[in-house]
Amino acid sequence: MATYRKFIFVCTGSDCKKNGCKTLLKEMGQLLKTDPHKGKWKIVKTKCMDFCKSGPVAVISNELIKKMEIGDLRGKL
Ligand code: FES
């Protein structure tokens, strides 16, 4: 079983899909495959988090991030 250091929860509800969560997930996956992040982070897709107008929405280290972009993740690594 893999042991991850941190989890990222990304909403994949319908409004977040309209606001680009699929592209965000793809970019996050690519970034987290590279060293030194490889195997340390787990991306978890979630249902709606009730911040639909502010999507894509994610939670990293208990912090809710609205209108998330890949640069927001880079700042957390
Ligand atoms: S659809 Fe993402 S917060 Fe509602």
- Cα–Cα dist 29/10, whole Å: 12
pLDDT of residue 47: 98
Look-up of token digits 């989890």: 7
Please say if the pLDDT value at position 25 is more than 90: yes
* Phi, psi dihedrals of residue 42, rounded to the nearest 5°: -120, 125
16 in a domain, yes or no?
yes
In whole angstroms, give the CA distance from residue 25 to residue 69: 10
pLDDT band at 67 (very low <50, low <70, confident <90, very high): very high
Residue 42 pLDDT greater than 80, yes or no: yes
Residue 41 to residue 35: CA distance in whole angstroms: 11
Provide the CATH number for the domain around residue 43.
Answer: 3.40.30.10
d(Cα 15, Cα 34) in Å, to the nearest integer?
A: 29
In a domain, 1, yes or no: no
Does residue 32 lie in a domain region? yes
Q: Chain-wide mean pLDDT for the chain?
A: 94
Q: Whose CA is nearest to atom 1 of ligand 1?
A: 13
pLDDT for 4 equals 78
**Atom in ligand 1 nearest the alpha carbon of residue 54:** 3
Model pLDDT for residues 45-66, shown as the tens digit of each residue: 999 999 999 999 999 999 999 9
